[in-house]
Amino acid sequence: MARAMVLLCSLLLLLGATTTHGMGVNWGTQAAQNVNPSVVVQMLKDNNIKKVKLFDSDHWTVKFFAGSGIEVMLGIPNNQLKDLGDHDNAKDWVKQNVSKHMYDGGVNIKYVAVGNEPFLKAYNGSNLKTLLPAMENIQKALNEAGLDHIKVTTPQNADVYESGSGVPSDGNFRKDIRDLMGKIANFLSDNNSMFLVNIYPFLSLYQNPDFPVEFAFFDGGAKPVQDKSISYNNMFDANLDTLYWSLKKAGYPKLKLAVGEIGWPTDGNKKANVKMAQRFYDGFFRKMATNKGTPLYPGYIECYLFSLMDENLKSVAPGEFERHWGIFRYDGQPKYPIDFTGKGNDKMPVGAKNVPYLEHEWCVLDRDKVKNPKDSSIQSNMQYACAMGDCTSLKDGASCDNLDLVHKVSYAYNNYFQINNQDVEACDFKGTAKIVKTNASTDGCFFPIALQNAAGFRVSIATGMSVFAALLTLLILF
Ligand SMILES: *[C@@H]1O[C@H](CO)[C@@H](O)[C@H](O)[C@H]1NC(C)=O
Ligand SMILES: *[C@@H]1O[C@H](CO)[C@@H](O)[C@H](O)[C@H]1NC(C)=O
Ligand SMILES: *[C@@H]1O[C@H](CO)[C@@H](O)[C@H](O)[C@H]1NC(C)=O
Ligand SMILES: *[C@@H]1O[C@H](CO)[C@@H](O)[C@H](O)[C@H]1NC(C)=O
C-alpha cells in the first residue's frame, strides 16, 4: 500500500514536472536589428514566462535556452517542408537542430512545429502535399533518435475550419482539405501530440466592420451566440469550440487543443492600439487563470501569446499593424502594464536589460534647407524612405498619424536611417536631412533608435528580408 502511494506520488510529481502551466510566447526575429537571445532568455525569466515558440530552429538562437528551464517549441518554415519529405533529410534535421541540444543541462525542447499556417488560402494549396510527409518524417526521426518525448505538431490558421451558420456545432474542416485535416488529426492523436491553432479576434474585427466589438473581448456585453443550450459571449470560446466540433466530426473528440498564436497589435491601425491590446489581454489572462477552458473543451489550455516583440521587417500584406504585435517594443521595452497571471495586478512587465543601442542620434528634415515640405522632391524622398524603412506608425489612425507634414517627413527619414544602422549616407536625402542629438520623439509618436546588431544574427538575411519587405511596401504604395 505504502509502496503504491509512493509510486502514485512520484507519478504525480513526474506529471507535474512535464506539464508546465502558464503562458507561452511567440518570439519572431523578422526585424532589422534583434535583441540578443541571451537577453531575451533573461527577459522571459524575469517575467516568469516558461514557454517559447520559435519560427525556425536557428542553432545560434536555440542554444541560449540551454539550462534556462524554458520549454521550447522549435519551428520549421513552410519552405523547408518539401525537403523533409525525404526521410534522410528529416534525420539530418533532427540531428542538427534537435539532438545537438540534448545534453545534460541542454535545451528543453518539447515540440517541433512543422510549417506555419501552411494551408492559408493565400498559399494556393502549395503545401497540401508536403506537410504531412514532413510531419511523419520528423516524428519518425525523433523517435529513432530516442527523442519520442518530443512531439511534432503544426500551427494552423483558424481558416482550416468554418461554420456555415456561424454556430460552433455547425463547424467542420474546410471542404477542400477535409480529408487531409482528418489524416493530420489522426497523426496528432496517434502520436500523443496536440492540435495547434492560431486565433485572432483582432483580425475578425479588422476585416469585418459588422463584427460585434464586444465579442472580440472577454468583458461580456456582447449579444451571445446561442448554440442549442450553450451561449457564447466571446469569439475565443466560439472559435475553439468550432474546432472541437470539426475534430469530433473527423472522429477525434479527445485530441488535445492548444492555441499557437493569440494577441492584439498596438499600432498601424485605429483598432490596433495600447488601450485595446490592454483590454484584450486583461480579459484573456483573467479567463485563462480560471482554467475553465471553453464550454466544450474544459480545463487548462496551452497558449502562446503573439508576440514577444515588434518586428519591423514583417510583411505588411495582411495590414500595417503586422509589425506591431509585440507586448514589448522592438528593443524589448514594455509598452503597457499587464499581468500574465490574470490576477489583475497590472504593472509594467520587466523589459530587456542591457540592450546595446547605437548612438542617441536621429535623422530629421533640415528646415534650414527646405522651405516647403510639400515639394514633390521631398515627397518622393519620403516615399523612398518609407518603402525601404517602416512607416506603419504614420498610417491612418496609427500613433504618428497626427504629426504635421514636417514631422512626418522626419519620421520617415529617421526610420530609414535607423533601419540602415545609422549609416550617415542614409541621412542625406539629397541634402535635405540632418542628424540631430536631441530626441525627435513627440508625445505619442516614438522615433526609434537602432540596436547594435547581435553578432550571431546574419546580416545578410536581414538585408535580404528588408529588400523583400521593401518590394512589398512598394507594391502597396504604388
Ligand atoms: C536546421 O534548422 C535551420 C534553421 O531553421 C535550417 O536552416 C537548417 O537547414 C536545418 N538543418 C537541416 C539539416 O535541415
Ligand atoms: C496564388 O494565386 C494568385 C492568383 O492566381 C496569385 O496572384 C498569387 O501570387 C499566388 N500566391 C502564391 C503564394 O503562390
Ligand atoms: C504516429 O502517427 C503515424 C500516423 O498516424 C503512425 O503511423 C505512427 O505509428 C505513430 N507513431 C507512434 C509512435 O504512435
Ligand atoms: C525619446 O523620447 C521618447 C518619448 O518621450 C522616450 O520614450 C525615449 O525613451 C526617448 N529616447 C531616448 C534615447 O532618450
165: which 3 cell numbers?
A: 451558420
Per-residue CA distances from 63 to 103, 141, 235 (Å):
11, 21, 37
Distance (Å) from CA 96 to ligand 1 centroid: 7
What is the C-alpha to C-alpha distance for residues 178 and 25, in angstroms, rounded to an integer?
29
| pLDDT surpasses 70 at 11 | no
CA 62 centroid distance within chain = 17
Residue 100 pLDDT greater than 90, yes or no: yes
Positive or negative, the CA dihedral 415, 318, 443, 330 is negative
Distance (Å) from CA 140 to ligand 3 centroid: 8
Instruction: Say whether 91 sits in a helix, a strand or coil.
Output: helix
The model's confidence at residue 19, banded by pLDDT at 50, 70 and 90, is low
Q: From CA 327, how far away is CA 265, in angstroms rounded? A: 8
Q: What is the pLDDT of residue 22?
A: 84
Q: How far is the CA of 143 from the centre of ligand 3 (A)?
A: 10
Average pLDDT along the chain? 92
- Average pLDDT, stretch 241-245? 98
pLDDT tier at 211, thresholds 50, 70, 90: very high
Q: For residue 72, what is the enclosing H or E element?
A: strand 71-76
Cα of 161 vs centre of ligand 4, distance in Å, is 44
Report CA(172)–ligand 1 centroid distance (Å).
Answer: 35
Q: CB under 8 Å to 165, separation ≥6 — which residues?
A: none
Over residues 433-468, the pLDDT tens digits come to: 999 999 999 988 999 999 998 654 544 333 334 434
Give rounded-to-5 percent helix, strand, coil for the chain: 40, 15, 45
* pLDDT tens string 341-387: 999 999 999 999 999 999 999 999 999 999 999 999 999 999 999 99
Atom of ligand 4 nearest to the CA of 449: 13
Task: Name all residues whose Cβ lies below 6 A of ligand 1.
Answer: 56-58, 92-93, 96-97
Kindly identify the ligand whose nearest atom is closest to the C-alpha of 133. 3
Cα 213 from Cα 220, distance rounded (Å): 11
C-alpha of residue 18 to centroid of ligand 2, in Å: 42
- Grid coordinates representing 248 are 469530433
Give the pLDDT confidence score for residue 20 in this predicted structure: 65
- Annotated catalytic residue within 136, 162, 214, 261: 261
Terminal Cα distance for the chain, rounded:
77
**Can you tell me which atom of ligand 3 is nearest the CA of 186?**
5
To the query of whether residue 261 is one of the catalytic residues in this protein, the response is yes
Q: Which CA distances in Å does 143 have to 82, 100, 456?
A: 21, 15, 31
Report the range of poorest mean pLDDT among 53-67, 171-185, 445-459: 445-459
Instruction: Please list, in sequence order, all residues whose beta carbon lies within 8 angstroms of the beta carbon of residue 50, skipping any fewer than 6 positions away.
Output: 20, 22, 24, 44, 69, 70, 71
Please tell me which residue in 71, 117, 136, 322 is annotated as part of the active site. 117
CA-CA distance, 146 to 139, in Å (whole number)?
Answer: 11
Which residues make Cβ contacts (< 8 Å) with residue 122, sequence separation at least 6?
Answer: none
C-alpha to C-alpha distance for 237 and 84, rounded to whole angstroms: 35
Residue of the CA atom closest to atom 7 of ligand 1: 58
Of 334, 390, 318, nearest in space to 33 by CA: 390
Are the C-beta atoms of residues 308 and 40 closer than 8 Å to each other?
yes
The CATH architecture of the domain made up of 21-323 is: Alpha-Beta Barrel (3.20)
Alpha carbon distances (Å) from 408 to 51, 212, 229, 379: 39, 33, 54, 10
Ligand number with the minimum distance to the CA of 458: 1
71-107 per-residue burial string, b: 16 or more CB within 10 A, e: under 16: bbbbbbebebbbebbeeebbbebbeebbbebeeeeeb
**Range in 14-23, 248-257, 405-414, 461-470 with the lowest mean pLDDT:** 461-470
Listed by start position, the domains of the chain span 21-323, 362-450
What type of residue is 361?
Answer: E
Alpha carbon nearest to ligand 4 atom 5, residue = 441
Q: Which residue shows C-alpha cell 510566447?
A: 25
Q: Where are the alpha helices (DSSP H) in 33-177?
A: 37-46, 59-62, 87-97, 131-144
Q: Write down the residue that cell numbers 495582411 correspond to.
A: 318
DSSP at 357: B
Among protein residues, the one whose CA lies closest to atom 5 of ligand 3: 187
Instruction: State the ligand closest to the CA atom of 183.
Output: 3
Choosing from 135, 148, 190 the residue with most ligand 3 atoms within 8 A of its CB, the one to mutate for a pocket test is 190
Three cell numbers at 112? 517541433
- The identity of residue 456, as a single letter, is G
Cα–Cα distances in Å, from 414 out to 163, 406, 431? 46, 12, 14
Residues within 6 Å of ligand 3 by CB: 139, 143, 186-187, 190-191
